[in-house]
């Protein structure tokens, strides 16, 4: 493993860190043991509740991989908010900059999953995040300026994204699109993004190109590069993942067909954490892609949004296993 280096050490005693800017909340996963029937009662289910929110999930994955992750977000002044603060700190995330919003309910995301782990529908209440404004990031500017990498959520209010683009142009930025419905919030702001991670549907919404074959992926990549992005990751579900950058590198990582899938919620977040880890460790694109794939595979095997058993050693073992299968 490459030693994680880099970053400005202006803040005394602080090692290089990732600034995770975005949503935090509670994830409620409804896992069905049988095919879900619409308009009927479905009683054979398992309900799991865990701390979530895309950016909090990314931060927890990074912390469990040994990366210093500082979360810039907010929670409500409710029991969920208390649980998020305590459990996230216990997982190793620096929660010192998370703001508690008075009279606000913490963000909540509910996923209803089929027996194969695929999500049937997701429901989200993210109104708490709307209370974040540019002033919050201005208050935290001294620390943000020291980050080695900014991971951004497109659900942040537009004024926050514009402020970050204007005030922190020198820090590399990784954006996880997270939802096709969030594309319009960032479409005109893609020039601020150095590394973009999208799934197939988000890529199609962003570029207007239907991704059916390999040439379509290349066309989508060119469209994204024209917006100012330098590196692109597209996750393709059971087809694997695609990587392209402006230097001409083109990569494809196959998914493991033998992998037991318990829950797909959170796998994209762990993939993004893998990208961030690769950036911090100075990995070349092939290493970063394989590392991100291994992170996602470990999360797919857990009922929780973040697999509490993910470690650097386990991810490296999964990377080695993927290499052996490819031979």
pLDDT in tens, 57-104: 999 999 999 999 999 999 999 999 999 999 999 999 999 999 999 999
Measured CA to CA, the distance from residue 278 to residue 174 in angstroms comes to 12
On whether residue 9 sits in a domain, the answer given is: no
Measured CA to CA, the distance from residue 244 to residue 218 in angstroms comes to 8
On whether residue 270 sits in a domain, the answer given is: yes
On whether residue 24 sits in a domain, the answer given is: yes
Q: In which domain, by residue range, is 61 found?
A: 17-37+44-326
**Which pLDDT score is estimated for 305?**
84
Q: Per this entry, what is the length of the chain? A: 327
Residue 150's DSSP bridge partners are 19, 173
**Residue 4: pLDDT band with limits 50, 70, 90:** very low
On whether residue 6 sits in a domain, the answer given is: no
On whether residue 94 sits in a domain, the answer given is: yes
| Backbone region of residue 208 per phi and psi (left: phi > 0; alpha: psi in -120 to 50; beta: other values) | left
On whether residue 226 sits in a domain, the answer given is: yes
On whether residue 210 sits in a domain, the answer given is: yes
Quote the mean pLDDT of the chain: 92
Q: Domain containing 64 — which CATH number? A: 3.40.1190.20
**Residue 138: pLDDT band with limits 50, 70, 90:** very high
Q: Whole-structure pTM over 0.85, yes or no? A: yes
Angle at 27 between CA 163 and CA 277, to 5 degrees: 55
What is the pLDDT averaged over residues 289-299? 97
Q: In the predicted model, is pLDDT for residue 313 greater than 60?
A: yes
**CB atoms closer than 10 angstroms to residue 238:** 11
Domain count, the chain: 1
What is the pLDDT averaged over residues 153-159? 94
Residues 6+ apart with CB under 8 A from 66: 4, 312
């Amino acid at each position: 493993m490459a030693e994680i280096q880099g970053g400005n050490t202006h803040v005394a005693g602080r090692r290089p860190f990732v600034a995770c800017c975005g949503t935090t909340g509670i994830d409620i996963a409804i896992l069905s043991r049988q095919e879900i029937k619409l308009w009927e009662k479905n009683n054979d289910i398992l309900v799991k509740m865990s701390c979530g929110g895309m950016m909090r999930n990314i931060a927890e994955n990074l912390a469990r991989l040994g990366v210093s992750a500082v979360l810039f977000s907010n929670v409500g002044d409710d029991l969920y908010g208390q649980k998020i603060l305590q459990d996230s700190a216990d997982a190793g995330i620096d929660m010192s900059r998370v703001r508690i919003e008075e009279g606000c309910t913490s963000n909540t995301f509910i996923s209803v999953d089929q027996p194969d782990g695929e999500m049937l529908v997701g429901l989200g209440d993210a109104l708490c995040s709307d209370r974040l404004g540019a002033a919050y990031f201005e208050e935290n500017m001294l620390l943000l300026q020291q980050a080695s990498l900014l991971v951004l959520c497109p659900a942040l209010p537009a004024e926050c994204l514009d402020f970050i683009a204007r005030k922190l142009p020198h820090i590399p930025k990784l954006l996880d699109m997270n939802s096709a419905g969030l594309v319009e919030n960032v479409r005109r702001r893609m020039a601020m993004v150095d590394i973009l991670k999208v799934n197939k549907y988000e890529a199609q919404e962003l570029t207007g190109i239907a991704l059916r074959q390999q040439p379509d992926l290349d066309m989508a990549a060119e469209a994204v590069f024209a917006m100012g992005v330098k590196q692109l990751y597209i996750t393709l579900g059971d087809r694997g993942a695609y990587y392209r950058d402006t230097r001409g590198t083109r990569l494809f990582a196959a998914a493991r067909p033998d992998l037991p899938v318990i829950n797909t919620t959170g796998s994209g977040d762990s993939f993004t954490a893998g990208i961030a880890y690769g950036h911090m460790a100075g990995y070349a694109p092939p290493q970063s892609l394989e590392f991100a794939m291994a992170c996602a595979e470990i999360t797919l095997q857990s009922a929780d949004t973040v697999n509490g058993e993910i470690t650097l050693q386990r991810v490296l073992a999964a990377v080695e296993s993927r290499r052996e299968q490819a031979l």
